[in-house]
Amino acid sequence: MDSIRTLTIGQPNEKQKQFLACRKKYIAFGGARGGGKSWAVRAKAKLLALRYPGIRLLILRRTLPELESNHIRFLREELLGVASYSKTDKCFTFPNGSTIAFGYCASDGDLDRYQGAEFDVLFLDEATQLKEEWIRRLTACVRGANDFPKRVYFTCNPGGQGHGYIKRLFIDRRFEPGENPDDYVFIPARVTDNTALLRCQPDYVRQLEALPKRLREAWLEGKWNLFEGQFFEEFTDDPVHYADRRYTHVIDPFDIPRTWSVYRSYDFGYARPFSCAWWAVDFDGVAYRILELYGCTATPDEGVRWTPERQFAEIRRIEDTHPWLAGRDIQGVADPAIWDTSRGESIYETALHHRIYFTRGDNRRIPGWMQMHYRMSFDGEGYPMLYVFSTCRAFLRTVPLLLYARTEPEDLDTSMEDHVADECRYFCMSRPIPPRRREAGVRPADDPLDLLK
């Protein structure tokens, strides 16, 4: 033991001290770029390994190269003479039996390596880059019949596939059954908290300040309603105030006038969710998403496996009983795929049995997305052509989080939960509008659209 050198942790800043001292079960740290998250993860892992002989720790990121560049290369130097490192197993082993292992998860198949694995503490570094399903399954590995603390540490920035899940738990604090609010804490950190980085890179803040407005607010200020790669960047459920106007797409429900037209849009799903929505359109052509039926389990992007018969029976029940819909002549639009008869009776024919009628939707993707962009854009007075009732949770959970595809620059990432967006696209294509123009009297510098860029 005499040959083992003293391990120096270093001096944390105030936010890092909060992270290191926190004993909640689920701890999220970050929100903006440059907050010192990686250092805090390594410091906490080393402290836990030394404090609890035999404890098993896992640091996980999306890819192995990210682990190498952000953690392993630093720890190999910091733990030299303190713990031995196995390059094959990607694991540090301490003389007291504690281990710090490293893992990655970039695809569904990568989850197989953690089947049956047990860890006492899990660090999900850049957790928003992981799918919600992956996060849930990985956190299930935190278990064991021992007295070690059982914790999950999340470091995170706005954006990425897990953005909505992290935001729901730690920012919005909207908890589902089985989630104890007392177990969750968020420790915000910005680059201005990281004095060590600012000493080494004094220009880093200016680099962030020079970014476009939306990216600057996400990366510098840590705003969770704006993030890099957001497909519908016009959409906002966080009201922006400009002069005497309140810019938002999300409004409280109100009784729909009987003189307005009501429409239905539909996207079929079985193993994946189906989506049905009802839209009210006023005399100016403004569309209001007033109701929705989304066939999803508690697991995101997992369908409830309702047959077409059951789906249309429920749609019929809603239209016969809901006061906004009962007695109305409702026009419907759906994906043309429901007219397919190659496997027998088409899904559309099943809908007819329940007196539910559709016209074939125009399912061209890029023009459809552009129609959604046009409707979400604010005019010079702060009005969009599309509003969403605050009760339409499926839309609000899935559509704002959609990202651009990596291979098709004008399309969205189809690997994400895009069923609501598809159904919305069919509706917008059934009532197309031209691109919206700025009003002549609004000076560019004062254009409210600039607030949402």
Most confident of 21-35, 81-95, 157-171, 187-201: 81-95
- Tens of pLDDT, residues 234-257: 888 766 555 455 678 999 999 999
Could you tell me how far CA 232 lies from the centroid of its own chain?
A: 13
**CB neighbour list of residue 430: distance below 8 Å, 6 or more residues apart:** 263, 265, 333, 359, 361, 362
Of all residues in the chain, the percent with pLDDT exceeding 70 is: 83
pLDDT band at 167 (very low <50, low <70, confident <90, very high): confident
Helices 37-51, 14-21: inter-axial angle, 10-degree rounding: 40
| Beta-sheet strands, E only, within 231-286 | 240-242, 245-247, 250-251, 261-267, 275-281
DSSP secondary structure letter of residue 272: S
CATH of 250-430, one of 3.30.420.280, 3.40.830.10, 3.40.50.2000, 3.40.50.300: 3.30.420.280
Overall average pLDDT of the 100-128 stretch: 93
DSSP secondary structure letter of residue 211: S
Residue 450's pLDDT is 40
Q: Does domain 14-219 have CATH number 3.40.50.300?
A: yes
State how beta strands 121-124 and 56-61 pair.
parallel
Residue 174's pLDDT is 86
Q: How many CA atoms lie within 13 A of 326 on its CB side?
A: 7
Distance between the two ends of the chain, CA-based, in angstroms?
Answer: 59
Strand partners, 26: 152, 184
**CB neighbour list of residue 398: distance below 8 Å, 6 or more residues apart:** 164, 416, 417, 418, 419, 420, 421
Average pLDDT value for the chain: 86
- Tens of pLDDT, residues 259-311: 999 999 999 999 999 999 999 999 999 999 999 999 999 888 999 999 999 99
DSSP secondary structure letter of residue 8: P
Residue type for position 200:
C
Residue 237's pLDDT is 75
pLDDT band at 214 (very low <50, low <70, confident <90, very high): low
Q: Where are the domains of the chain?
A: 14-219, 250-430
3-state SS, one letter per residue, for 417-436: CCHHHHHHHHHHHHCCCCCC
State how beta strands 245-247 and 240-242 pair.
antiparallel
Of all residues in the chain, the percent with pLDDT exceeding 90 is: 59
Residue 202's pLDDT is 62
**For residues 193 and 35, is the Cβ–Cβ distance under 8 A?**
yes
Residue 441's pLDDT is 33
**For residues 358 and 292, is the Cβ–Cβ distance under 8 A?**
no
Residue 449's pLDDT is 36
Handedness of CA 37, 42, 47, 48 (dihedral sign): positive
Residue 279's pLDDT is 98
**CB neighbour list of residue 239: distance below 8 Å, 6 or more residues apart:** 246, 247, 248
pLDDT at 324 over 50: yes
pLDDT band at 438 (very low <50, low <70, confident <90, very high): very low
pLDDT band at 337 (very low <50, low <70, confident <90, very high): very high
- Tens of pLDDT, residues 36-45: 788 899 999 9
CA distances from 87 to 66, 93, 120, 166, 198 (A): 15, 11, 22, 32, 33
pLDDT at 172 over 90: no
What residue has token string 């694995």?
A: 117
| pTM to 2 decimal places | 0.62
Angstrom distance (rounded) from CA 369 to CA 424: 9
CA–CA–CA angle 181, 182, 188 (5° rounding)? 85
